[in-house]
Amino acid sequence: MRPLIASLTLWNSCQLAATLVLLLASPPEPNSMFEALKFLSKSLGGLPTMVDVLKSPSTDLPKRFAQAKKVAIDGKVGKVTVLGVNLVDVEMLERGEKKSRDMNYSSFAHYSLVIAIAREGFHIYQSWGEHGYHLDQYLMRRGSRLRSWEDAKTFLKTFQELCRFEENWTDELNIAYKQCFGVDIKSICGRGKLQTPIVRPCRPWVRIFEINDVKTRNIEKFTCE
């Protein structure tokens, strides 16, 4: 039996939290479930490489959100779309691949942002690592509450502020990050703090895993005995 502390450490993983939500939302077919598991898994080959970054532009979340909203509100029966959003730190990714530059920095990368868009509005599910919060804590404080389309405008505008190149981790970026993800990076990362400083420069890149027409049967594929 594994030590309790080792088992609990798994729940600090924001990748695990996002993967659980995506797995719940995915269709019950094996291929669909595998793709949901793969998206944030290094061992399954789902994480991006510099080749991916260089050949593909950063995904436009507001555009994808607008498409999902249209599907949700059009017609007699609106369809639910789930978006797994991965904010990638290109600088850390490149350093890791080249293995020729200092890696003793923290990353702003955020793996655990899942957005569910329905006719009534949208929900956000996320967590943030060891010094942030777990998914269950986020749920308990009503982070996944139903949000309005006006809330969506604010959230998407703020998220876009995180998607631009900056030489340093600025106060503006820090505020936008906290508003989107509920974490004050500057209070955690820096000399003499819980984590090392954020790497420079800030080179964000976004990719999205989309699950269309999410149905109740998708969630019901798992049963408890």
3: in domain: no
Residue among 38, 15, 8 at smallest CA distance from 109:
15
Q: Is residue 225 part of a domain?
A: no
Question: Among all chains, which residue has been given the structure tokens 């080792």?
Answer: 6
Which residues does 154 contact at the CB level (< 8 Å), separation at least 6? none
Predicted TM-score (pTM) of the model is 0.91
157-174: burial string, b at 16+ Cβ within 10 Å, e else: eebebbbeeeeebeeebb
- 163 touches 58 (CB < 8 A): yes
Q: How distant is the alpha carbon of residue 116 from its chain centre?
A: 12
- Predicted confidence at residue 132, as pLDDT, reads 86
What is the pLDDT at residue 11? 56
- How many domains is the chain partitioned into structurally? 1
Q: What pLDDT score does 5 carry?
A: 40
In a domain, 223, yes or no: no
- Domain membership of residue 177 (yes or no) is yes
In a domain, 56, yes or no: yes
Q: Please report whether residue 8 resides in a domain.
A: no
Q: Are 149 and 155 in contact (CB under 8 A)?
A: no
Q: Check residue 76 and give its pLDDT.
A: 72
Residue range of the domain that includes 179: 14-218
Q: Is residue 51 part of a domain?
A: yes
Q: What does each of the 225 residues of the chain score in pLDDT, given as a tens digit?
A: 344 344 444 556 788 889 999 999 999 999 999 999 999 999 999 999 999 999 999 999 999 999 999 999 997 778 999 999 999 999 999 999 998 778 889 999 998 899 999 999 999 999 998 888 989 999 999 999 999 999 999 999 999 999 999 999 999 999 999 999 999 999 999 988 999 999 999 999 999 999 999 999 999 998 776
CA distances from 189 to 132, 145, 193 (A): 12, 29, 6
pLDDT for 2 equals: 41
Assign 212 to helix, strand or coil. Answer: strand
Of 144, 140, 142, 141, which Cα lies nearest the Cα of 126? 144
Q: Would residue 4 count as lying in a domain?
A: no
